[in-house]
Structure 1
Amino acid sequence: MTTPAAAPLHPATLQAMADFPRQLEQFYEAIPATHRDWTPASWEGIPSETFSALGQICHVRDIEVDGYQLRFARTLAEVNPVLASLDGYVLERERNYASADAKEVFAAFRAARAKTMGMLGGLTPEALARTAEFEGYGALTLRSLVHYLCSHDQQHLAGLQWLLGKIDASRA
């Protein structure tokens, strides 16, 4: 029997990551156009960062490129690198998420996710076992990073659904 550390990435994880751009677009499209940059009076209970629907997709794009792609590359190239955590709220201010064009964001994200999948495709168990230190997470492996990215994806799908719930509640 193969231990998880000696196995390739699980197909369910890779499939979830490959499906995510489509799901993100569908969930975003479910948000009424009038509410894409809307924010609720209270963020209590949100399962992701406190971004509007437009901010959610911008954040996902930026974390893919400036966060995870860089972390994967460094973990593969360096010996036990220290990987920075990014402040999404600083990125939101610096990149003015409220003025973003959703079509451009999705095009950039689809291209970025395709690059990420290419980076991860065919990695050996040895490569997946490479280690790093991630601010806020501690010691991990490249395989850990893949799971954290997949988890991050799911948090933002949940964030969009949460916003839909708040939108509906605000109309009651």
Structure 2
Amino acid sequence: MHTTTDPSSDPALLDTLAQMPAQLQALARALPPHRHAWRPGSDLFSLLEHACHLRDLEAEGYQLRIRRLVEEDLPELQEIDGSSWAVERDYQAQSLDEAMGAFAAHRARTVALLADTLPRHAGRKGLFGGFGIVTLGELVRGMAAHDASHREEIAALVAAAAQVA
């Protein structure tokens, strides 16, 4: 069994991940309800699509990848096309409150899983599509970066919505 630690096992990183659902809630409160499904551009997500994407990626992407990295030797980790999911799963017709609630529940499970596995398995490796070989620690840092990009996009969406109010 490969066991190693790296800087990604820092508890502050898990705290950062754990805070994302509350940050999403705060951003959602800054947007009027009639703008929850509004897109600032044809190729950009609405707040509702962001929430659904985060929910589904958490459960069907991150949790699966983490388990496979810990349990398998050099697993092939699947990439996810979030834009395709948005259309195929009709994110625009879903409930924002339900999506945010499910995301919060899934993220809590992910953080608990990582709290248990990351300190011992941060160096476990997998083959992740176009990214090549990644460790569990790198995957976790990527999750934090993905969260940051969604916060930035949603903040921009909120600002754009204020301009068209």
TM-score, normalised on structure 1?
0.87
Alpha-carbon spacing, 1:87–1:124, altered in 2? closer, same or farther (3 Å): closer
Where does 1:1-172 land on structure 2 (aligned, <5 Å)? 5-6=5-6, 9-41=9-41, 50-123=44-117, 125-171=119-165
Q: Is the 8 A contact 2:5 2:121 kept in 1?
A: no
Larger helix proportion, structure 1 or 2? 2
Q: Is the 8 A contact 2:118 2:136 kept in 1?
A: no
Alpha-carbon spacing, 1:73–1:33, altered in 2? closer, same or farther (3 Å): same
Long gaps (5+) in structure 2: none
Aligned length: 162
CA distance in 2, matches of 1:155, 1:8: 19
Long gaps (5+) in structure 1: 44-49
Q: Is the 8 A contact 1:39 1:52 kept in 2?
A: yes
Q: Is the 8 A contact 1:128 1:141 kept in 2?
A: yes
CA distance in 1, matches of 2:57, 2:8: 24
CA distance in 2, matches of 1:81, 1:67: 14
CA distance in 2, matches of 1:152, 1:8: 15
Quote how far apart the aligned CAs of 1:169 are.
Answer: 2.7
Identity %: 34
